[in-house]
Amino acid sequence: DWTMGAYREQAIEAIRAQVGDKKVICGLSGGVDSSVAAVLIHEAIGDQLTCVFVDHGLLRQGEADEVVKMFRDEYAIPLIHADEQELFLGELDGQSDPETKRKIIGRLFIDVFQKYANEIEGAEFLAQGTLYPDVIESVSFSGGPSVTIKSHHNVGGLPEKMGLKLVEPLRELFKDEVRALGTELGLPPSFIGRHPFPGPGLAIRCPGEITREKLEILRKADAVYIDQIRRHGLYDEIWQAFVAILPVRTVGVMGDGRTYDFACALRAVTSVDGMTADYYPFTHEFLGETATRIINEVQGINRVTYDITSKPPGTIEWE
């Protein structure tokens, strides 16, 4: 009779057997998978684990603080907070092509991670929150011809490049099992149920050139939108919801004045695995109320649209 409690014990034994008294580095994204992996490994080997959290300046409102607070303060896991916003935003300055943006972020991420990991003396292992579907996907994609829709942000070649061995305690699990394990490990439900967030972060929700001004506006609008979804009790029915800031300013009228501000698009989809998705059928009341709140509460946006494209033919993210 197989329970998550038993899996936890087994996994802890396996990690101890693999790692011995050596040190492990874990890249923490703030997502569920890497977080569950980190907490599990910490339970197994304590302070032989150090986490590295790279802040690329493309995170949502309050996200970096939440991650640092939870792992460093609540779990007492040694954590390096790599504040590299200047580097990422500097290199992205003036870049508008989606693949170029993705490649810049992917390359810098690896450089930065490597730089901080090198400071951890004697590390021999790299921990990753790889799940079973990731394992199968990388096998099935390696065969026939394929078209790259988007260069995915991952750290695939990193272990070999750094001469590190991999620790992947979630390799046999599906997403729902990882959530169950996270619950078993005491991670808060609000954290376990979080929508997925892509590695390149807000960069792919800001089509065209990224500026600090646009990122600031986007963060505020996204926070209002998610607050609306939570208030209406819809968060858990939705696979992913976010705002994209559009690279266009439009004319509006507010009070007795003319405005000339950015337009944004709201996105919300249902999905099982992210491979296909349907747009979420919000009520007109919900959409109207949300548009009013965003325009009233977020300076810099004067027009709100709702993206009703399913996947395919659209993708979930805008870039």
Residues that bind ligand XMP (CB under 6 A): 150, 152-153, 196, 198-200, 240, 274, 311, 315-317
- Least CB distance to ligand XMP at residue 83 (A): 21
Confirm whether residue 271 is marked as ligand binding. no
- Least CB distance to ligand XMP at residue 199 (A): 4
Of residues 96 and 276, the one with the C-beta less far from ligand XMP: 276
Of residues 19 and 28, the one with the C-beta less far from ligand XMP: 28
Of residues 120 and 135, the one with the C-beta less far from ligand XMP: 135
Confirm whether residue 30 is marked as ligand binding. yes
Of residues 152 and 161, the one with the C-beta less far from ligand XMP: 152
Let me know: does 109 contact 200? Beta carbons within 8 Å.
Answer: no
Pairing of β 49-55 and β 165-167:
unpaired
Of residues 32 and 217, the one with the C-beta less far from ligand XMP: 32
- Least CB distance to ligand XMP at residue 277 (A): 7
Confirm whether residue 31 is marked as ligand binding. yes
- Least CB distance to ligand XMP at residue 58 (A): 11
Tokens coding 126: 């790299």
Place of tokens 């266009």: 248
SS (H, E, C) 257-314: EEEEEEEEEEEEEECCCCCCEEECCCCHHHHHHHHHHHHHHCCCEEEEEECCCCECCC
Let me know: does 316 contact 278? Beta carbons within 8 Å.
Answer: no
- Least CB distance to ligand XMP at residue 4 (A): 24
H or E segment and range at residue 167: strand 165-167
Confirm whether residue 35 is marked as ligand binding. yes
Let me know: does 85 contact 55? Beta carbons within 8 Å.
Answer: yes
Confirm whether residue 32 is marked as ligand binding. yes
CB within 8 A of 271, min separation 6: which ones?
239, 240, 277, 278, 311, 316
Would you list which residues are annotated within the binding site? 29-35
Annotated binding site for ATP: 29-35
